[in-house]
Amino acid sequence: MTTLGLSALPPAPGERRRVLVVDDEPGVCYMARRVLESRFDVREAGSGEEALRVLEGEAFHLCIVDVRLPGISGLDLLATIKNLSPECDVIIMTGSATDIDEALEGAIRRRAFFFLRKPFPMTILETLAVRVAEKQELEERLARHTRTLERNLESARIFQRSLLPRSPWAGERIRVASHYAPSEQLGGDFYDYWPLPDGGTALLIADVMGHGPLAAMVTGIVKSQLHSLASEIHDPGEILYVLEEELRRIALPAFLSAFLVIDRPEEGEV
């Protein structure tokens, strides 16, 4: 089993990011190792083919690749790395005095992180490697944050669905059914119907202004308050008035539109 084609996982606590230097000049590999090894785990390869063999056994966060390599060219190796491991950043180096524009264009098209022309101070390579690590850390933090948001949003969706009636309701004079088609965003639209303790049926259609978790969560407050109020207050208008006063008290930061119908067959009124 190989790891080629899989992205390197974020380093665990105490681990360092892994860097692969690919150059057929041993002196360049040596100097790159010397300047990077204080911060990174560094491996070396003298050709594109050797680099691919190394990548079969280990995933890297950064590859530093020379354009002119024996066998597979540096630009072809760059394309292979980015296709198989898109999150791996690649810095391209060249010592050629000819076709520099063509090499630069090829590196850009193949999604290189940076392009260096030899000779260059090794401190520049160190700075670039640190910038790559900082960028990757930010991307990993954003990915973790996004996963947390997605889990929270799914919990909110489950909560919102749990507030809706689970089955049609049939009373003495009324039959109620519903269909819920959720949008991609959380919202404050909801409905409810339930039997009243003293007989009859309550039917609610409501909307908390806006979208997002706040609007969705407020629906839970509204539902709980309405069920409680409807068990104590006879008149639906009075129920909504008391509900409004309660929402003002808790400083609800949004408007609520609500339509409440109460059917009382024993009293012959809706």
* Confidence band of 1 (pLDDT split at 50, 70, 90): very low
Mind listing the pLDDT tens digit for each residue in 195-206?
888 888 888 888
Rounded to an integer, the average pLDDT of 178-190 is 75
* Tokens, residue 188: 């404050």
Q: Rounded distance, CA 180 to CA 185, Å? A: 14
Residue 145 scores a pLDDT above 80: yes
Residue 23 scores a pLDDT above 90: yes
Is the distance from CB of 120 to CB of 91 less than 8 angstroms?
no
Long-range contacts of 74-78 (CB under 8 A, 24+ apart): 74/22, 74/48, 75/103, 75/106, 75/107, 75/110, 76/48, 77/22, 77/48, 77/51, 77/52, 78/107, 78/110, 78/111, 78/112
How big is the chain, counted in residues? 270
Rounded to an integer, the average pLDDT of 62-76 is 92
Query: Looking at residue 3, what is its pLDDT?
Result: 47
Residue 151 scores a pLDDT above 50: yes
Query: Looking at residue 119, what is its pLDDT?
Result: 87
* Tokens, residue 171: 């009373």
Residue 98 scores a pLDDT above 70: no
Q: Nearest-CA neighbor of 86 among 145, 6, 11, 2?
A: 6
The pLDDT > 90 percentage for the chain reads: 34
Residue 25 scores a pLDDT above 90: yes
Burial of 123 (0-12, 13-18, 19+ CB in 10 A): exposed
Mind listing the pLDDT tens digit for each residue in 222-266?
888 888 998 888 888 999 999 888 888 877 777 888 899 988 888
Is the distance from CB of 52 to CB of 72 less than 8 angstroms?
yes
Give the number of other CB atoms < 10 A from CB of residue 23: 26
Strand-strand pairing, 41-45 and 18-22: parallel
Query: Looking at residue 253, what is its pLDDT?
Result: 72
* Confidence band of 24 (pLDDT split at 50, 70, 90): very high
Q: Rounded distance, CA 245 to CA 177, Å? A: 30
* Tokens, residue 112: 């290189």
Residue 92 scores a pLDDT above 60: yes
Residue 140 scores a pLDDT above 70: yes
* Confidence band of 6 (pLDDT split at 50, 70, 90): low
Query: Looking at residue 133, what is its pLDDT?
Result: 94
Query: Looking at residue 7, what is its pLDDT?
Result: 64
Query: Looking at residue 97, what is its pLDDT?
Result: 58
- Tell me the average pLDDT of the chain: 85
